[in-house]
Amino acid sequence: MAFSGKYELESEENYDSFMKCIGVPADVIEKARNFKVITEVVQNGDEFTWTQTYQGGKSMTNKFIIGKESDMEILGGKKFKATIKMEDGKVIASFPNYCHTAEIVGGKLVETSTGGNITFKRISKRVA
Q: Determine the structural domain holding residue 108 and report its residue range.
A: 5-126
Calpha distance 116→106 (Å, rounded): 28
What was the pLDDT predicted at 46?
96
Q: Please count the structural domains in the chain.
A: 1
What was the pLDDT predicted at 83?
92
Calpha distance 14→39 (Å, rounded): 19
For strand 79-83 and strand 118-126, is the pairing parallel, antiparallel, or unpaired?
unpaired
Cβ atoms of 71 and 81 within 8 Å: the answer is yes
What CATH number does residue 61 fall under?
Answer: 2.40.128.20
What was the pLDDT predicted at 84?
95
Would you give the distance in Å from CA 98 to the centre of its chain?
12
pLDDT tens per residue across span 31-44? 777 788 999 999 99
Q: CA-CA-CA-CA torsion for 26, 27, 33, 38, nearest 10 degrees?
A: -120
pLDDT tens per residue across span 59-100? 899 999 999 999 998 766 778 889 999 999 999 998 877 899
Mean pLDDT of 48-58: 88
Calpha distance 120→29 (Å, rounded): 13
Q: Which long-range contacts (CB under 8 A, 24 or more apart) does 98-107 make?
A: 98/18, 98/21, 98/22, 102/3, 104/2, 104/3
